[in-house]
Structure 1
Amino acid sequence: MNPAALRRIDAEELARLLPMPRAVRAVEAALRAGLDPEADIPRTVHEVAAGQLLLMPSANSSYAGVKIAGVAPGNPGRGQPRIIASYLLMDAETLRPAALIDGSALTLLRTPAVSAVAVDHLAVPAAERLVVFGAGPQARGHVEAVRAVRPLSWVGVVARSPRQAAELVEHCREAGLDAEPVSPEAVATADVVACCTTSRTPLFPASALASHAVVVAVGSHEPTAREVDTELVATATVVVEARAAALREAGDLLIPLRSGDIGPDRIAGNLAELVRGAVDTGAVGPKLFKSVGMSWQDLVVGAAAVERAGAGAAP
């Protein structure tokens, strides 16, 4: 085939084709239609001089695809994104390439969209107060995603960089939300808490949370890093994308598992079970959705964008 003829979808076109609410609906629809997150192909991680090289393949009856992502911790100091990725979408029957998508933009869309699906099934209907840890692109995306499923009115930003916190606060205000920089103690009044950081240690004590709060932790896919403490994992209703992936990569769960403070049965269900009503969400206490990022999410959201492009989608 002629590589020059391959459809290319950059960040701007991806945002036009698939605004956040559409991405959320695409993820929900795929799970309701029978997608099994447990059957997804595990990612492989290779250590390289600059950091990590991640290969994330997935396939369904219509498409196959693979994301190649580089995680370079030194990039922010060079003025470059920490994660840079490309996504190749292929026809499932012939494996002929169908599109090349900006994989970084795809990650920044699908991760919050997946979180929003979980929040939609776990958070109280009137949830309006969000505390977000981190002030980078994923934090911005999670503000947009939570707003797509709940009547969000206030955002508190916890970030190490006052400049970045101020920028996210201003972004939220321009979007019509009340927003301000806050300390970690602000989780006490939050309906939803989004953890979007590179922290390797817990960001706040579980005891500080409101009893109805939903915590989304997306910052790590490493077995030795976590954003939430053992108490939260031991007492919350815990939902993961897939048990297999979480028990392979989620330090938030693996650290207390290794210490013997919890067992594998602490996981109440995976995201597909949650969407299909098979998870008991009525228990008193906080809810935790732990995400490590999975290949099926790129495939579902990437395919939805390509299909809308093929249908001549309007903005």
Structure 2
Amino acid sequence: MNTLLLDSDDADEHARLDDVIGAVERAFGAYERGNAQMPAKSYIDLPQYNGDFRSMPAYLDTGEWDAAGLKWVNVHPDNPEDHGLPTVLGTMIYSDPETAFPLAIIDGTTLTMKRTGAAAAVATDYLAVDDATSLGIVGAGVQSYTQLEAISEVRPIEEVVVADKDEGRIQRFVDTYGDAFDVRAGSIAEAGHCDVLSTVTPVEEPIVGREDVGEYTHVNAIGADAEGKHELADDLLLDARVVIDDHEQCTHSGEVNVPYGEGVLTDDDIYGEIGQLVVGDLSGRDAETGVTVFDSTGLAIQDVAAARVAYENARESDAGYAFGMIDTDAR
């Protein structure tokens, strides 16, 4: 029995977004039903390298399939300038839950982008207006690409407004998607008055206020993934229907972590978790809903779900590089 190695190109091709979105939605549902195990993300801090490692294991059983895996990922902000490497690098080990055999080793960086976009798409499907055709994006880095690609799977997006201080990033984004969408540069307020807004920045001082978003805008808050990060102003969060992916992670390192830690925002101000919408315990958008916010920290169950999609699709296509990492004759 062989282990399948899937590099970034393989992961990109076979972790197809429509499949990943469906798998991530099932993962949220399994987690809400108690059919998943996801220990807290553990950190190894490396201040001497201005970086850290994070380990993210998970197991889930959707009722249709079960899956297990571990993502080993980092954040090293100096990588691009000092080493010509991405800030975030990830490796995914995807295992057979029954035997623990390592079925695949997959580029976790690509999977992270796919599952992050997929989570935003799931939230958008439950919380955005049905006829949403415009998408605003604040922050035109690598995550912005899968935000557009994934959200356009669940809503008929036509117009895209991108805000970023780096004009080069905006131009690259426009060059990439200008033929498929009506893409233009704009201010944060112009982006925020779209039907859907995704914020994908690492800021620690809020850059999007209540006045910057429309009356019925749905906001995917993606950028906050560590304690102290904070993209949305407190008045916006307090005025919105706030849905989170996981209470422990979000209150520690998600978009709500700063106001929650200060007592400005409490559990009473959090509508619920995305899994509650998926299983039907809470409604998504209704006639009385105004602004909605999805606080996405990224869960290990999402990585495992995306890994299963990549592995199954690659196996069906006879893709990737199969190698004998384990001596199956050993006893």
Shift of 1:33: 5.3
Q: Quick one: which of 1, 4, 8 aligns to 2:5?
A: 8
Task: Name 1:277's counterpart in structure 2.
Answer: 280
Structure 1's 132 and 56: CA in aligned 2 closer, same or farther, altered over 3 A?
Answer: same
Q: Quick one: which of 87, 104, 109 aligns to 2:92?
A: 87
Task: Name 1:102's counterpart in structure 2.
Answer: 107
* Aligned-partner SS, 2:85: coil
Residue 23 of structure 2 aligns with an amino acid whose one-letter code is: A
Contact 2:243 2:294 in 1 (8 A): yes
Asked if residue 18 in structure 1 is aligned to residue 15 in structure 2, the reply is yes
TM-score, normalising length from structure 2? 0.88
Q: Quick one: which of 7, 27, 31 aligns to 2:28?
A: 31
Task: Name 2:57's counterpart in structure 1.
Answer: 57
Shift of 1:217: 0.8
Task: Name 1:141's counterpart in structure 2.
Answer: 146
Distance 2:105 2:239 in 1: 43
Task: Name 2:40's counterpart in structure 1.
Answer: 42
Distance 2:37 2:292 in 1: 25
Aligned length: 309
Shift of 1:35: 5.3
Shift of 1:28: 1.9
Contact 2:37 2:60 in 1 (8 A): no
Task: Name 2:156's counterpart in structure 1.
Answer: 151
Distance 1:81 1:258 in 2: 31
Structure 1's 303 and 188: CA in aligned 2 closer, same or farther, altered over 3 A?
Answer: closer
Contact 1:83 1:104 in 2 (8 A): yes
Shift of 1:313: 7.6
Contact 2:37 2:59 in 1 (8 A): no
* Aligned-partner SS, 1:146: helix
Structure 1's 34 and 228: CA in aligned 2 closer, same or farther, altered over 3 A?
Answer: closer
Q: Quick one: which of 197, 200, 204 aligns to 1:200?
A: 204
Q: Which segments of structure 1 move beyond 4 Å, counting only runs of 4 or more?
A: 32-39
**Bigger shift: 258-267 or 227-236?**
258-267
Task: Name 2:291's counterpart in structure 1.
Answer: 286
1:57-103 superposed Cα distances (whole Å, 9 cap, x missing partner): 11135332111112101012133211011011111122121100001
Residue 290 of structure 1 aligns with an amino acid whose one-letter code is: D
TM-score, normalising length from structure 1? 0.92
* Aligned-partner SS, 1:269: strand
Shift of 1:117: 0.3
Shift of 1:203: 1.8
1:228-279 superposed Cα distances (whole Å, 9 cap, x missing partner): 11011111001111122212222x3122123322211211111111112322
Distance 1:7 1:21 in 2: 22
* Aligned-partner SS, 2:90: strand
Matches within 5 A, 1:157-196: 157-174=162-179, 176-196=180-200
Distance 2:126 2:158 in 1: 19
Shift of 1:188: 5.0
Structure with greater contact order relative to length (CA < 8 Å, sep ≥ 6) = 2
Residue 74 of structure 1 aligns with an amino acid whose one-letter code is: D
Q: CA RMSD in A?
A: 1.9
Asked if residue 239 in structure 1 is aligned to residue 243 in structure 2, the reply is yes
Distance 1:17 1:132 in 2: 26
1:32-63 superposed Cα distances (whole Å, 9 cap, x missing partner): 45655885221111111320111111113533
Distance 1:71 1:30 in 2: 25
Structure 2 alignment gaps of length 5 or more: 320-331
Task: Name 1:258's counterpart in structure 2.
Answer: 261
Distance 1:308 1:165 in 2: 33
Distance 1:271 1:192 in 2: 17
Residue 184 of structure 2 aligns with an amino acid whose one-letter code is: E
Residue 72 of structure 2 aligns with an amino acid whose one-letter code is: I
* Aligned-partner SS, 1:29: helix
Structure 1 alignment gaps of length 5 or more: none
* Aligned-partner SS, 2:307: helix
1:170-209 superposed Cα distances (whole Å, 9 cap, x missing partner): 11213x1011111112045310110111111212211221
* Aligned-partner SS, 1:60: strand
Q: Quick one: which of 212, 215, 218 aligns to 1:211?
A: 215
Contact 1:242 1:270 in 2 (8 A): yes
**Bigger shift: 32-41 or 279-288?**
32-41
